Homo-oligomer: A and B are copies of this chain.
């Protein structure tokens, strides 16, 4: 099939607006009569609220509403509905919201917060999940003896004990992952507006608008049909928008009380405290292999620091398991979890969602196995690589798969001249592979997306998609899919995607699913529309619709292509007449997948993505400084629909992965968030970035739109493992905790020296 639009390098549609500063983010939204809300948070990570007095705040001129836990509706929300929007009685982490104010201006609201008097009685607190499990540990929730959440992920397949006993080598280690935060340049914002009939419009940074609609309605005690969600452009999200948060509920409550639209916008310091993080965890992993390198078993136990409330972040073992069971062929797998409440801030979803953590463990041990067996590290991976047709222990059905080709591509691209390391620096090369869902992820009963395509008299095509754009480029790629399917010029296609009142249903943007799922929905709707367009043109061209095709804006007779008319003329001819018709078509795509059952078996995705990375870095022994020189990243993306955009996703992922590996850490001590600015939180700057070599291996997936598979997360996932492996290659030290900071390297080298 010759493709006209797909595979072309197309600038992202939001690009020009963003780089010229013209994008109107939610931060820029101002509604008539809009008030400004601010939230007062807990002073202590665990305390009883003895007294709260809002009288002085309420009396401040310009204050429109003051709310405390006593005013909030009784409906709890969150992943297991364990938190109210405003806390009464007890606070369980420093993020806890104890009061909120709406005022004419943000500075008045801020001033009012300072006038709210809260008297606390501190309670003993617990900040470590294993300590939380000890008998006698302080209880985060009084009704939760032992501090255990209800979540547990247990999986078993094959004879793990036998494999461990018989293996030529068993490597064993515990990996520790700390708090990181998405550090979105656009902080969280919520704007709430009730109409006179009690209908609520929310402008939100959510990335799951329909789940948000459902959850917010529940939290407010109203029907989901009374909530409309509008999603202006966001400055980053990366999973942050997967849960409903108190900011959203509080904005709605303040607006209801003040009878005015209310906007709550986090300042940077508040974003560090209140934005959900990647969850901290400890992964105990054992990997068993035969003498020829064949993997025999993995045995894994994950301990999650759940923080004070359960969120989507608490469910990351769901994905960790998929990696433990699915990254390379492994016949026997055991997996278990401990997810314990602490008085730390709770986490959320963040790009890669558990897979960075487990890939860090799994791929670190791949190197350890190779080293112990005296095998080449890439060769070990080749021997265990997943192949098309595999079914993994969970029952995931592998269709298109180019894992082997990715490993070859990385081996090839990592070569090539680099300046030799400076004196005192040692060079290392590290590898890591990646396995992730790439055709949706059926974690909800529907994994579908709807699309409506309309072609007007001007030849403009509107795609109204359920999909959510959070900067990943979905608008652009969906427009390309429609343009290709319809055979019309790309610039005639417009994408509408930000209003739940008009867009069809979609789960939301997560799990690298948008190109695949929303892309298929758009393609199906466009195919229906194309059929109707050809019917319309049939009369003009005096040929049956079956004999017609449309390409590059022309409807033509296949056999005699000179018999042609512009597609928009065909549309007008069909419309602007007595008994005319217009061109609107809709479709819904729900992938052919199966949710995991209670034993965590199923086939959650209609396609799976594979990748391999190599990292070349230099380590200065004297200082522990690590300088990454090159990252090579080869990805089985099915087909790269918009290659530079796909590459941009990988670049962004590598940037985030390198930060995770080397520099980023949200410092939380005794439950307090100490990181307060980008001076403290070391996101890598452009100048810190190494040479990047990205390669796409096109396996052309049979189910994906034009063969594409998802890739939004695949760049970030293997980076930290490849970095750790490269550091080990350079200096012989195995790091099992991130980030690998100069101080950590220096200390490890000093310790080895001392030993």
Residues in chain A within 8 A of chain B (CB atoms): 13, 16-17, 20, 22, 24, 28, 30-33, 195-197, 210, 213-214, 217, 223-225, 228, 442, 444-446, 448, 450, 452, 454, 456-460, 462, 464, 492, 494, 496, 499, 501-502, 504-505, 575-582, 584-586, 588, 590, 592-595
Contacts and interface: CB of A to CB of B under 8 A. Distances in A.
A213 B456 CA distance: 11
Contacts of A217: 458
A33 B17 CA distance: 14
A217 B13 CA distance: 21
Contacts of A444: 576
Contacts of A450: 582, 584
5 contacts: A13-B197, A445-B576, A446-B575, A446-B580, A584-B588
A584 B586 contact: yes
Contacts of A30: 30, 32
B224 A448 contact: no
A197 B460 CA distance: 15
Contacts of A33: 22
Nearest to A581: B588
A467 B608 CA distance: 45
A670 B450 CA distance: 61
A217 to B, nearest CB: 7
B594 A590 contact: no
Contacts of A32: 24, 28, 30
A314 to B, nearest CB: 23
B582 A502 contact: no
Nearest to A18: B196
A446 B504 contact: no
Contacts of A454: 504
Contacts of A576: 444-446
B593 A448 contact: no
A494 B505 contact: no
A578 to B, nearest CB: 6
A161 to B, nearest CB: 35
Contact of A505 (B457, B492, B505): B457
B586 A581 contact: no
A217 B459 CA distance: 13
A362 to B, nearest CB: 30
A225 B460 contact: yes
Contacts of A225: 456, 458-460, 492, 494
B16 A197 contact: yes
Contacts of A577: 445-446
A569 to B, nearest CB: 13
Given A456-B225, A456-B505, A458-B213, A588 B579 contact: no
A195 B210 CA distance: 28
Contacts of A581: 588, 590
A457 B210 contact: yes
Given A16-B197, A17-B196, A458-B224, A442 B496 contact: no
A117 B590 CA distance: 66
A496 to B, nearest CB: 5
A226 to B, nearest CB: 8
Contacts of A494: 225, 228, 501
Nearest to A227: B458
Given A445-B580, A457-B505, A459-B225, A195 B22 contact: yes
Given A197-B16, A210-B457, A217-B458, A582 B492 contact: no
A223 B579 CA distance: 26
Most buried by B among A17, A217, A494: A494
B462 A501 contact: yes
Contacts of A492: 225
A632 B230 CA distance: 47
A502 B197 contact: no
Contacts of A590: 578-581
B586 A505 contact: no
Given A13-B197, A17-B195, A22-B196, 6 more contacts: A16-B196, A16-B197, A223-B458, A224-B457, A457-B505, A579-B590
Contacts of A464: 502
B584 A504 contact: yes
A580 B210 contact: no
A458 B214 contact: yes
A508 to B, nearest CB: 13
Residue of A17, A30, A580 ringed by the most chain B CB atoms within 10 A: A580
Contact of A578 (B223, B460, B593): B593
- 6 closest A-B pairs by beta carbon, nearest first, are A224-B458, A225-B460, A16-B196, A445-B576, A225-B458, A584-B586
Contacts of A228: 494
Contacts of A457: 210, 214, 224, 505
Nearest to A588: B582
A496 B501 contact: yes
Contacts of A575: 446, 448, 505
Contacts of A224: 456-458, 460
A595 to B, nearest CB: 8
Residue among A224, A462, A505, A584 with the highest chain B CB neighbour number at 10 A = A584
Nearest to A587: B584
